[in-house]
Each structure stands twice: as structure tokens, then as C-alpha cells.
Amino acid sequence: MEQLENTVEVEDIMEELGYSCTVGVAQCKEILNLLPSLQEANIARIIAMASRSHTGLEDSHGTCGTFYSALTESAFVDGIWASTWNIEVLVESIKLVVSWY
């Protein structure tokens, strides 16, 4: 996990995982907690990435669930194939993760 923190940006990981990582607040929050701590610049880049890739991400069905299941003890509920970011879930999850909010 330390190597992950030192080599990849949070927004890049989220973009790779795809829209499914914003299917629910609990799951999105847990995914964000697995990644390096969020600072203002990270949050700005996440919002920019979500705006830039609002639609049109390549089909990555299963990637988010595999990542989530491999790194947590919780089951990933992946019954919905999202075609865009759930911005409300993303914003609420970020608010719950950052300590300075």
C-alpha cells in the first residue's frame, strides 16, 4: 500500500476504477480511506477528473469490485453498472473522509 501512496494520484486510481466506485456513500468512503490522505489539491483534482470524464470512460465492469474486495473485508455491492459519476455520493464521501471539513 505504501508503494501505491507514493506512485499514483487518487484521481487516477478513481478514474481507473470507474464510475462504480461512486455507487454508494459507504463504498466510496471506504475506497477513499484506502488511498493516500486527501488534501485540498487532491480534492480539486478528483472534481476535475470527474468533470472531465463525466461520460465516456471505458467499460471497467468489475475493476472497482475486485479492488474493493481485495483490500477490505466488506462485500462490494456491484449490481449497478454506472454510466457516469454519482457526484452527490462523491461529494458526501469526501466530506466524511476529510478531517478538516
89 contact partners, CB below 8 Å, separation of at least 6? 22, 23, 24, 25, 28
Amino acid letter for position 23: V
* pLDDT at site 9: 81
* pLDDT at site 23: 85
Grid coordinates of 78? 456491484
Work out the average pLDDT over 47-65.
Answer: 74
CA-CA distances (angstroms) from residue 22 to 3, 6, 31, 72? 24, 24, 9, 16
* pLDDT at site 89: 95
Nearest CA to 17 out of 88, 90, 66 is that of: 66
Q: Does residue 91 surpass a pLDDT of 60?
A: yes
Lowest mean pLDDT among 10-24, 32-46, 50-64, 68-82: 68-82
Distance, in Å, from the CA atom of 84 to the CA atom of 20, rounded to the nearest integer, reads 9
